Structure 1
């Protein structure tokens, strides 16, 4: 059986990836901080699908705990065939109102963990001539969002994944950035975001995002943007000059009249 390692697996997109990959017959390595939720998920997936599930309780913003996950990713005893770098956090406050420790933790999780786990996986995958890395980014990474360190971190993930995908062409190793729009998960609540004005058509279902992203990965795409409305939004955004993007964002930001 192939083995998939999923970070941030206890909820949201990470849990949706775990359910889908288990149903496809993957053995799983589930990584998150929430041990009770991971344990419950692991038991359910083992029972339902008859697969092997390892639980790695780890805060991958911590160097020591991240090193433990890196070691598992790089293991040749039970190789990881698919790495899903899903864990990530956002913030709702203005940049100047956020503590630097919080901003550093966001950078460590959204960027550093993605970089280090991908680096642990790719050399072994290249040596085997096969393997996949799916890095969860965001549509927001395509736009100049006022004061958003989250968008900046996701812009890095997208650019990093696309560049690495090009470098690995012909190696049998695929790397893809998944760039979803607003998805119904716990992410908004954890980030302290209140979003009421977005049309229902722009809200995505986590299982649908996972389905589309895995299809795109297996089709060899370097980037996946689930749903036609978000594909159109990104295409349109690429035609709008950065200066105009900044003007629009500034004039529509909360707190302005």
Structure 2
């Protein structure tokens, strides 16, 4: 793990700007969170595995928005990498005001066909990492009585579809509980549950999504804009777009065998 910072800010003012830590920050929804928060004047701590890509994103955002950008290259499935990010999230001398647990990916194969260690690493990134990073951030948010956590889940959280859906269901359930429990102490926790978003997700999985109707797709820009709005309102769950809100409601009334048809990314 290495850490560095890029900055294009002029002389410091008395009031420190807010700071956001974003995992999976170099592409897709994570990169869009970084752009929109930078435009709002947030300093950033960007976390991802690819150091070269991290440095490019950090330099671009620092120069465009005149903010400080720190990077941490870490593999969140590994205890050492996760511990480095936890330490930064818990740092009371440089507090994080907004934590975005966005890092994630999916596995293409059926559960029984996948190597069980691959499944375990998936859970480490999708469940263990957001749980531990939220816990770390709370250690410095609660004493200050302010802070926001956004945990990126998925509409798959409401469907019985293997390890990925089960992991995202945990994220939604945990976030709902945490929002109820901590909002009275000044800290809100929001689960973001988008549907299909035009990112690198399916490409990295090695799946084809060419047959999906255009109307089903969301843009990262819209997803993040709605997520930040809902988080600012203290909502426990953010589901971008009416069509996916209706889809979520449909999962509650349709037979489970209908909802479970197909696989993630089909």
Report the TM-score, using the length of structure 1 for normalisation. Answer: 0.94
Query: Secondary structure in 1 aligned to 2:234?
Result: coil
Other-structure match for 2:225: 211
1:201-240 matches, cutoff 5 A: 201-240=215-254
Q: Does 1:249 align with 2:260?
A: yes
2:259, 2:103 → 1: CA distance? 30
Shift of 1:236: 1.8
Unaligned runs of 5+ in 1: none
1:155-174 matches, cutoff 5 A: 155-174=169-188
1:20, 1:13 → 2: CA distance? 10
1:91-130 matches, cutoff 5 A: 91-130=107-146
1:130, 1:248 → 2: CA distance? 39
- Aligned counterpart in structure 1 of residue 83 of structure 2, from 67, 86, 91: 67
2:104, 2:53 → 1: CA distance? 17
Shift of 1:196: 2.8
Q: Deviations 1:164-222 (Å, cap 9, x if unpaired)?
A: 11111311101000000000000111112212332111100001100000000001110
Query: Secondary structure in 2 aligned to 1:14?
Result: helix
2:219, 2:88 → 1: CA distance? 30
Shift of 1:253: 6.2
Other-structure match for 1:144: 160
- Assess if the C-alpha contact under 8 Å between 2:176 and 2:190 holds in 1: yes
- Assess if the C-alpha contact under 8 Å between 2:159 and 2:259 holds in 1: no
1:210, 1:236 → 2: CA distance? 24
The number of equivalent residue pairs is 248
2:130, 2:245 → 1: CA distance? 24
- Aligned counterpart in structure 2 of residue 47 of structure 1, from 37, 41, 63: 63
Other-structure match for 2:72: 56
1:239, 1:246 → 2: CA distance? 12
Q: Provide the alpha-carbon RMSD of the alignment.
A: 1.3
Query: Secondary structure in 2 aligned to 1:175?
Result: strand
Report the TM-score, using the length of structure 2 for normalisation. Answer: 0.91
Shift of 1:248: 5.2
> 167-176 or 26-35: which moved more?
167-176
1:37, 1:253 → 2: CA distance? 30
Shift of 1:7: 0.2
1:182-197 matches, cutoff 5 A: 182-197=196-211
Q: Does 1:14 align with 2:30?
A: yes
Shift of 1:64: 0.9
1:143, 1:86 → 2: CA distance? 20
Other-structure match for 2:10: none
Other-structure match for 1:132: 148
Query: Secondary structure in 2 aligned to 1:201?
Result: helix
1:184, 1:128 → 2: CA distance? 37
Q: Closer, same or farther in 2 for the Cα pair 1:79/1:162, shift >3 Å?
A: same
